[in-house]
Chain A
């Protein structure tokens, strides 16, 4: 029962905050709205018993990415012009609504092979086992490390004052 109430509260907060990102005229306010949406998504992860992912979501998205976004808004000073839309508003709305309708149709009409096993509750040891185990994801992990290194160097080079 509590899970149902929590799901609906979190889902409504997620959707309202996500709409706020699009609707708000002020770019700074839409960044704050994005942060609310990310926190609500972390709550959804907790409901799905993905505790490690919820912590990672708070640490990486809410802690790091939102700070970088707000820093970029401050640096570009474009927020004085607000957040205008281009001429594609109506076609984009139609495309998004049709896409959402198709997605919902596909989800409802698919016969999902649900598993009855209860979820593992502390997921962190199991995730570590999966990633670093014998047939795990060590190579993708190393590639992700190389990607992060390339991003650090690239961001410094691109954003540097010449």
Chain B
């Protein structure tokens, strides 16, 4: 048995689903950010696997993965700045208690 495209895609789907579960259920905002990182990594695996098995000459999938990494780094930096700011103002980062704009 050789390792084909399907193996990588199923691994990426599993990683994405674990991240999805964590992003929905967790109450700590930092754990939610970590779950989103897991989801982005699953997407990266899928992009690189497509680039490796379907268009090995073009490398477009790897370029997309590079841009995903850039945007993920930006998202983490700004997300953690917002979390620290919220913690400073409200003394909690429990997303169930941050419901000021909820009606």
> Chain A: residues with CB nearer than 8 A to chain B?
3-4, 7, 11, 14-15, 18-19, 21-22, 27, 30-31, 34, 37-38, 41, 44-45, 47-50, 52-53, 56-57, 60-61, 64-65, 68-69, 71-73, 75-76, 78, 81, 83-86, 88-89, 92-93, 95-97, 99-100, 103-104, 107-108, 112-115, 117-120, 123, 126-127, 130-131, 137, 140, 144, 147-148, 151-152, 154-156, 158-159, 161
Cβ–Cβ contact B41 & A38, under 8 A? yes
A78 touches B93 (CB 8 A): yes
Docked-complex contact B59 and A140, CB < 8 angstroms: no
From B84, which residue of chain A is reached at the shortest CB distance?
A159
A78–B33 alpha-carbon span in the complex (Å)? 14
User: How far does the alpha carbon of A120 sit from the alpha carbon of B26 in the complex, in Å?
Assistant: 41
The answer on a CB contact under 8 Å between A65 and B72 is yes
How far apart are the CA atoms of A83 and B69 in the complex, in Å? 26
CB of B100 closer than 8 Å to a CB of A: no
A94 closest partner in B (C-beta): B21
Give the docked Cα–Cα distance between A100 and B74 (Å).
28
A145 to B: closest C-beta gap in Å: 9
| Contact flag A96-B48 (CB < 8 Å), given A37-B38, A76-B30, A88-B24 | no
Of B13, B19, B63, which one neighbours A104 at CB under 8 angstroms?
A: B13
C-alpha spacing A72/B82, complex, angstroms = 10
Q: In the complex, A49→B76 CA distance in Å?
A: 27
Say whether B25 contacts A88, CB under 8 Å. Answer: yes
- Chain A residues whose CB sits within 8 angstroms of the CB of B34 once the complex forms: 21, 30-31, 34, 69
Contact B31 A103 (CB under 8 A): no
Pick from A49, A95, A103, A131 the residue with the most CB of B within 10 Å.
A103
A68 lies within 8 A of B80 (CB)? yes
Pairwise interchain contact B54-A99, C-beta atoms closer than 8 A: no
Q: Is the CB of A100 within 8 A of B14?
A: yes
Asked if B57 and A96 make an inter-chain contact with CB atoms under 8 angstroms apart, the answer reads no
B35–A22 touching, CB < 8 Å: yes
